[in-house]
Structure 1
Amino acid sequence: MNKLDGKVALVTGGTSGIGLATSKHFVAEGAYVFITGRRQPELDAAVKGIGKNVTGVQSDVSNLADLDRLYATIKQEQGRLDIIFANAGGGELVPLGSITEEHFDKTFNTNVKGLLFTVQKALPLLPEGASIILNASTTSIMGTPAFSVYSATKAAGRSFARNWILDLKERQIRVNAISPGVVLTPGYDHLGLSDEQLQSFVDSQAVTIPLGRVGTPDEIAKAVVFLASDDSSFVNGIELFVDGGMAQI
């Protein structure tokens, strides 16, 4: 028997990287998955790549009208939602002294506002015992040069998990944060680094990781499946680091 047989799941930002890998694992474990993305061509490609038991809904998590449309679609097609992987997010390298209001608003609107309302607007669809997984980051507890705004949003996400388990305890809904380490995904393309700079960054990070390498989207996806399934039925409010030990030393 698969771990997620009969479950209905949502993966925001499901068109590439960790979101796409997790969507594929959810379907492989028996779930029906809704994925979101801001760009229709990438969304269509992801749906095709997943292949079955998937619906793509074009939306931006920072746009509340988009979220309303997303949940109206899920309600109409499946009637409920057992699993949320609130994965959509991003950031850019901007050092203190160069941070603009636009950079701040863009990052917080997606990573904090979008995360909050992705979960809050889903509540009417969630049955007792549902599982919510928030995608945080090792930056929630570690400093990174020129990454303070992004890091602050991830610390906020981790804090949400701690607080929401109290708000949702009567419904037995679990909320956990997953904090990936360095995992090469298309999201790194938005950091403004050249290919050479990106490789240099990855090499510099790998030597700080006890396992001696960066991670893969599949490795994160397997941990998300654990948090989404009954295998983690007594796991609630945690921050699960999937980082090769990077944040533990």
Structure 2
Amino acid sequence: MGKLDGRTAVVTGGGTRGIGRATARRLVAEGAHVFITGRRTELLDEAVAEIGEGVTAVPGDITAPADLDRLYDAVRARGRGLDVLFANAGTASHATLEQLTVAELDRILAVNVRGTMLTVQGALPLLNPGASVILNASTAAGHGTVAFGAYAASKAAIRTFARTWANELKGRGVRVNAISAGPIDTSGITELFGAENEAVAKAALGANVAIGRMGRPDEVAAAVAFLASDDSSYMLGANLYVDGGENQI
């Protein structure tokens, strides 16, 4: 018996070789049927092949309302509503104030802030009583890391969303919480810093963590599964740190 037996979940950014896919895999292992979405069909197909039964891929972009409509139409067709939503999809930027362009700022906010809002807003009619909504914030929101201003600002907004939406949805019995991961070893590191700088970036990121290393996607997935389950029934509007002690000691 899994902690999520019979439940229906959605993981945005679920095809990525990182937190999204690891979380989809973990939720399926806990007994949920998981719908994953993302812009890259080849990664979604790869995730379905890897995870196997219990996962359905619906390609789409969280910034496009029509794509989210298709995702939630698929969930609705299953006929069981929605019990778990992990609003995970996001993007990052590496630019100082001097380098940051309006176009790049708009891109970050469109995906991380507007996309998250549209994701949760679109799910509202489907959320069952007792549903759990988990927003992917970041430890970056509490730092002044050079060249991460736009990303950090977008994740600070996500933290605020979690508090506000928790208050707004509590009357429906829906819990909203956030999760803030520290540096996690995913393919996103390569995409952000470039393959030629990957090893140096990972070493530097890991050195700044109290536990002495970067985190693994499955470690974040375990925390999401906790927030998705009844084990976290007394948590509302919280921000769960999975950061190897980076922000704690």
TM-score, scaled to structure 2: 0.97
Distance in 2, Cα, partners of 1:96 & 1:194: 24
Q: Map residues 40-51 of structure 1 onto 2, 5 A cutoff.
A: 40-51=41-52
CA contact (8 A) 2:193 2:201 kept: no
CA contact (8 A) 2:8 2:80 kept: no
Distance in 2, Cα, partners of 1:41 & 1:212: 34
Distance in 2, Cα, partners of 1:223 & 1:39: 25
Query: Cα distance, 1:172 vs. partner?
Result: 1.4
Residue 69 (structure 1) aligned with residue 70 (structure 2): yes
Distance in 2, Cα, partners of 1:188 & 1:202: 8
Greater shift, 185-194 or 112-121, is seen at 185-194
Tell me the equivalent position of 1:142. 143
Q: Deviations over 1:66-107 (max 9, x none)?
A: 111111111012341100000000112011111112111111
Structure 2, unpaired ranges of 5+? none
Residue 104 (structure 1) aligned with residue 85 (structure 2): no
Tell me, what secondary structure is at the counterpart of 1:159? Answer: helix
Tell me the equivalent position of 2:232. 232
Aligned-partner residue type, residue 110 of structure 1: V
Query: Cα distance, 1:188 vs. partner?
Result: 1.7
Query: Cα distance, 1:140 vs. partner?
Result: 1.3
Tell me the equivalent position of 1:207. 207
CA contact (8 A) 2:189 2:202 kept: no
Q: CA RMSD in A?
A: 1.0
Distance in 2, Cα, partners of 1:222 & 1:18: 10
Distance in 2, Cα, partners of 1:172 & 1:137: 25
Q: Map residues 77-116 of structure 1 onto 2, 5 A cutoff.
A: 77-116=78-117
Distance in 2, Cα, partners of 1:36 & 1:11: 7
Tell me, what secondary structure is at the counterpart of 2:85? Answer: strand
CA contact (8 A) 1:92 1:192 kept: no
Aligned-partner residue type, residue 166 of structure 2: I
Tell me the equivalent position of 1:219. 219
Greater shift, 99-108 or 18-27, is seen at 99-108
Tell me, what secondary structure is at the counterpart of 1:5? Answer: coil
Tell me, what secondary structure is at the counterpart of 2:241? Answer: strand
Q: Map residues 112-127 of structure 1 onto 2, 5 A cutoff.
A: 112-127=113-128
Distance in 1, Cα, partners of 2:188 & 2:155: 15
Query: Identity over aligned residues, as a percent?
Result: 51
Aligned-partner residue type, residue 236 of structure 1: L
Tell me, what secondary structure is at the counterpart of 2:114? Answer: helix
Q: Deviations over 1:140-181 (max 9, x none)?
A: 111211010001000000100100111111111111100110
Aligned residues: 248
Change (3 A) 1:106 1:118: same
Structure 1, unpaired ranges of 5+? none
Tell me, what secondary structure is at the counterpart of 1:247? Answer: coil
Greater shift, 77-86 or 174-183, is seen at 77-86
Tell me, what secondary structure is at the counterpart of 1:82? Answer: strand
Query: Cα distance, 1:122 vs. partner?
Result: 0.3
